[in-house]
Amino acid sequence: MADYNVDDVIKNIFDSNDSNNWKPTDKIPLVIKEIEHLKNDMRSFLSSSDYDIASILDEGKELCAESKTLVDEMELCRQEIEQETMAEILQSIENHDQLAKELQSVNFAIDIIYDVVQCGKYVKEFDDGREAQSFTRAVEAVYDLVQYVEMPAEGFKHLDLYANTKHTAQLILDSLLHDLYGEWDRLVSYIVKPGIKKTVVIITLNLDDSMIVIDVLNALDRSKKLKEKVSEFSQFLLKDVLIPIIHNDCTVFAETEELMTVTINYKQDFKPEYDAVIANLRLLFHYLSNKLNVKFNRECSIMRMLGKEICQPFSDVIVKDCLIDTIPNNINELQSYGKITVEIEDFQRFLTVVKFFPDDKFSILHYVNNIDVLFASKSCQYFLETARTIMFKDLSVTMSIGVESIPESDEGPSDTFDDNVEGALKILDETIPVSLFYFPRCMISKTAQELLDLVYMMMEQAVQCSDVVCKKLYNTTRLVFELYDAVVPYHHENYLQTIPQYVALFHNNCMYLAHNLQTFGDKWLILMEGRELDYPISFVDLVHKLRDLGYKHLTMHMQQQRKQILDNIRSSDLNCIVVKDVLSENAEAAIRQCLRQLHLLKNVWIGVFPNNVFTRLMATLVNMFVDELIHRVCTVEDISMEMATQLTEIYTLVVQKAPQLFQNPSDVEKYVKSWIKLQELIFVLGGSLKDIENHWKDGTGPLAIHFRTEELRNLIKALFQNTQFRANLLIKIK
């Protein structure tokens, strides 16, 4: 049976070769035959089997009969349970619900009674604490009572007793806190007496390690009010005592063991030295330590609480407003700064010992970690303030500077140089004038030299410092000259607008500073040799800016002088020659006033400006003056003989006086472009047509050189009547 294969049997019956030709009637006998064969095999298998199949079947029939009997019995049991037992169970449930309700009522009553008993217990504990004069016990009892009535048992809130108890507990707590606050005020009190010149602060501390004091502190701590009171006292100390001691002149004096007086004196522009501040703080903290280091529990004291509250803001203030000021502004003092840090470290240890600082790790010396940056900022601030102070000084305090003449160097290139170097030096010598390295003799303000000495000091200090400080000082040095541009013209504005000497000195100052800035960067780089820099060092860009600053104000003043000269001329009869036959006295007065003005400028400027600059400036003003005089005459259509005579006399006065305005009288011909033209004009005004013809000399004479044809023709028409000789001369002048 185990080897019987159904698939093979089906293949044999339904042969695939004739699958399209067979009919069901043909295959049924084959299938029936196979079934019969299988039945015979099954009989043979059962007859040869080791099991008694018949017995097994009989046993199964018996089990079926017994199962049916059990089912019938279970059905009888179910019916009996439904009819009798369920009735008893329902009755039991009703009894249980009734008992549960009764138990709930009993528990409800018990809870209310328990709350009443507990409230009474806390009230009794409070009474016992007050009788024993123990604030701690009383506070604990009241706080327990208050907390207990906040979470009462169900139903307790509906009793009149609950409302009365809660109200009473709050009244007792308020009264107790009032008494505790009174005790605290007795232990810790302070008075501030403000005034205009000084403020007096009186601190009285009556704390000690007695049981009464400990009891008060514990009671305040238990009521969570101690931190509030200590915080209040801490803020008072910080704002009214510690910070004023850091900022003002103070006297700290312990009158008694319990009483200390701090007198704060208000002085204008006063800042106490760091050692005086530390000395006063030591006295104060010594007094506070003796009184506030009272341990009201194993882990804490008032002094520690106070320190925890204000040590950080106190540290920030003393570092920012006191200790940082101890950082010097020069490299020599910085090298000896260790002495000051030792004193500050000792003060820090003192604050740790008196328990104001929480531990040894808390430091007020953290700013020393950035000493280079702070030193750089302090130095730069000092130098900028010093520079500003110098710039505010009077410009009229002068000194002589520069060389009278530029020395000539006969030294040739060194023999040690090769041909390329010699060639380069020769080209450099031919390209750059020697005068570039020399400043001409003139007068400058002493403030300009002071400012230059200051920036040289900055440079010398910078090269001795770290790269951070050096870079900061370099930028500050540049800023000094930027500041000069902004401060000096603004601060001395009135003088620069009205006093010629100030303008001259300011111009020279700008030129002198610009001259030194040309090589200042090279000097810096020479001192910095061997150091790697990540920034360029140069001041050449400031040279043009400073020169323009000097030019600007000198130009403005020259325009002002020019305006005064023109106003003098135009306010006289010289401005209305065309409508007058004779000039009044104001014409000559105006000329003399202009000459006096120029002579005053000569007295002020000579020796102040370099000689060549003075000559050029005076030549510019004189040339403008002469041009205006020439223009007054050359634009007139008719000039009478009397007026021509007057003009000749007045203009001759100019020719006589103007050369005296220069150091060398011959300079007037060299530098005043219109000088010969003025002389020729005077010649024309006093000459005849024949003289004019001779000076014209067929277009080659001095009149032809200095006058335009149209100008000369107009002048002849204005001076001479219309004659044939004049007409012939005008024909020649073309």
> pLDDT for 687-717, tens place per residue?
888 888 888 887 788 888 888 888 888 888 8
**Cα–Cα distance, 461 to 473 (Å, whole number):** 8
**Cα–Cα distance, 514 to 539 (Å, whole number):** 9
pLDDT band at 158 (very low <50, low <70, confident <90, very high): very low
pLDDT of residue 563: 93
Nearest Cα to 463, choosing from 509, 518, 525? Answer: 525
Do 559 and 567 form a contact (C-beta atoms < 8 A)? no
Would you say residue 398 has pLDDT above 50? yes
**Residue of higher predicted confidence among 171 and 57:** 57
Residue 55 located in a structural domain: no
Do 292 and 302 form a contact (C-beta atoms < 8 A)? yes
Mean pLDDT, to the nearest integer, of 659-667? 91
Q: Which of 556-560, 576-580, 688-692, 705-709 has the lowest mean pLDDT?
A: 576-580
The CA distances from residue 502 to 150, 392, 507, 620, in Å, are 87, 13, 8, 19
The CA distances from residue 124 to 129, 579, 696, in Å, are 9, 124, 137
Do 462 and 474 form a contact (C-beta atoms < 8 A)? yes
pLDDT band at 154 (very low <50, low <70, confident <90, very high): very low
**Cα–Cα distance, 456 to 479 (Å, whole number):** 14
**Cα–Cα distance, 627 to 635 (Å, whole number):** 12
Do residues 537 and 635 share a domain? no
Residues 6+ apart with CB under 8 A from 393: 445, 446, 447, 450
Residue 468 located in a structural domain: yes
Residues 6+ apart with CB under 8 A from 134: 215
**Cα–Cα distance, 645 to 167 (Å, whole number):** 121
**Cα–Cα distance, 364 to 346 (Å, whole number):** 11
Q: What domain range is 19 assigned to?
A: 1-42
Do residues 249 and 290 share a domain? yes
What is the token pair recorded at 669? 């011909």
Question: Which residue in this structure is represented by tokens 């009383």?
Answer: 138
pLDDT of residue 481: 92
What is the token pair recorded at 638? 């008719």
**Residue of higher predicted confidence among 614 and 64:** 614
Mean pLDDT score of the chain: 79
Q: Which residues are paired to 205 by β-bridges?
A: 188
The CA distances from residue 606 to 492, 514, 596, in Å, are 22, 22, 15
**Residue of higher predicted confidence among 162 and 378:** 378
Residue 408 located in a structural domain: no
Do residues 646 and 714 share a domain? yes
**Cα–Cα distance, 325 to 152 (Å, whole number):** 63
pLDDT band at 506 (very low <50, low <70, confident <90, very high): very high
Do residues 538 and 398 share a domain? yes
Do residues 331 and 431 share a domain? no
Do residues 520 and 656 share a domain? no
Residue 504 located in a structural domain: yes
**Residue of higher predicted confidence among 529 and 676:** 676
**Cα–Cα distance, 588 to 574 (Å, whole number):** 9
pLDDT band at 156 (very low <50, low <70, confident <90, very high): very low
Do 634 and 714 form a contact (C-beta atoms < 8 A)? yes
pLDDT of residue 415: 47
Q: What is the pLDDT of residues 612-650, one digit of tens each?
A: 899 999 999 999 999 999 888 888 888 888 888 888 999
Q: Taking the CB of residue 234, how many other CB atoms lie within 10 A of it?
A: 22
Cα 226-230-236 angle, rounded to 5 deg: 150
Question: Which residue in this structure is represented by tokens 């409302």?
Answer: 163
pLDDT of residue 174: 67
- Tell me the torsion sign for CA atoms 59, 60, 63, 68: negative
Distance of CA 417 to the CA centre of its chain: 53
Percent of the chain with pLDDT over 70: 77
Mean pLDDT, to the nearest integer, of 596-605? 93
**Cα–Cα distance, 273 to 323 (Å, whole number):** 9
Do residues 393 and 488 share a domain? yes
Distance of CA 731 to the CA centre of its chain: 80
Helix (H, G, I), strand (E, B) or coil at 281: helix
Residue 407 located in a structural domain: no
Domain of residue 664, CATH code: 1.10.357.150
pLDDT band at 410 (very low <50, low <70, confident <90, very high): very low
The CA distances from residue 354 to 238, 240, 306, 351, 675, in Å, are 17, 21, 11, 5, 91
pLDDT of residue 3: 63
Do residues 481 and 504 share a domain? yes
Would you say residue 163 has pLDDT above 70? no
The secondary structure of residue 636, as a DSSP letter, is -
Decide which of 182, 211, 230 is a domain's last residue: 182
Do 340 and 332 form a contact (C-beta atoms < 8 A)? no
Decide which of 161, 182, 203 is a domain's last residue: 182
Strand residue runs (E) in 392-490: 398-401, 442-445
Decide which of 138, 153, 182 is a domain's last residue: 182
Do residues 540 and 666 share a domain? no
Would you say residue 551 has pLDDT above 90? yes
Nearest Cα to 334, choosing from 366, 385, 373? Answer: 373
**Residue of higher predicted confidence among 72 and 445:** 445
Residue 370 located in a structural domain: no
The CA distances from residue 594 to 103, 543, 586, 614, 628, in Å, are 127, 36, 12, 18, 12
Would you say residue 417 has pLDDT above 50? no
Nearest Cα to 543, choosing from 568, 564, 570, 514? Answer: 514
Do residues 595 and 486 share a domain? no
Would you say residue 721 has pLDDT above 80? yes
If phi > 0 it is left, if psi is from -120 to 50 it is alpha, else beta; for residue 607 that is left
**Cα–Cα distance, 66 to 368 (Å, whole number):** 104
Helix (H, G, I), strand (E, B) or coil at 364: coil
Do 680 and 703 form a contact (C-beta atoms < 8 A)? yes
Distance of CA 610 to the CA centre of its chain: 45
What's the number of domains the chain is made of? Answer: 5
The CA distances from residue 356 to 281, 289, 315, 363, in Å, are 12, 8, 11, 12
The secondary structure of residue 436, as a DSSP letter, is G
Do 146 and 170 form a contact (C-beta atoms < 8 A)? yes
Largest CA distance in the chain: 184
Helix (H, G, I), strand (E, B) or coil at 573: helix
**Cα–Cα distance, 299 to 515 (Å, whole number):** 72
Do residues 214 and 309 share a domain? yes
Strand residue runs (E) in 256-314: 259-265
Strongest mean pLDDT among 4-13, 239-248, 266-275, 466-475? 239-248
Do residues 291 and 360 share a domain? yes
pLDDT of residue 614: 93
Q: Which residues are paired to 264 by β-bridges?
A: 199, 250
Strongest mean pLDDT among 103-117, 440-454, 571-585? 440-454
pLDDT band at 686 (very low <50, low <70, confident <90, very high): confident
Question: Which residue in this structure is represented by tokens 């009793």?
Answer: 159
pLDDT band at 552 (very low <50, low <70, confident <90, very high): very high
249-254 and 198-205: which strand pairing?
unpaired
Q: Which of 43-57, 416-430, 646-660 has the lowest mean pLDDT?
A: 416-430
pLDDT of residue 164: 56
Mean pLDDT, to the nearest integer, of 170-181? 68
The CA distances from residue 86 to 78, 80, 82, 90, 94, in Å, are 11, 9, 6, 6, 13
Would you say residue 20 has pLDDT above 90? no
Would you say residue 175 has pLDDT above 70? no
Do 159 and 113 form a contact (C-beta atoms < 8 A)? no
Residues 6+ apart with CB under 8 A from 503: 496, 553, 554, 557
Residue 24 located in a structural domain: yes
**475-491 b/e with 16+ CB inside 10 Å = b?**
ebbbebbebbeeebeee
Residue 47 located in a structural domain: no
- For 130-178, give the secondary structure using H, E and C: HHCCCHHHHHHHHHHHHHHHHCCCCCHHHCHHHHHHHHHHHHHHHHHHH
**Cα–Cα distance, 288 to 408 (Å, whole number):** 78
Residues 6+ apart with CB under 8 A from 206: 186, 187, 188, 213, 258, 291
**Cα–Cα distance, 254 to 246 (Å, whole number):** 19
Would you say residue 173 has pLDDT above 80? no
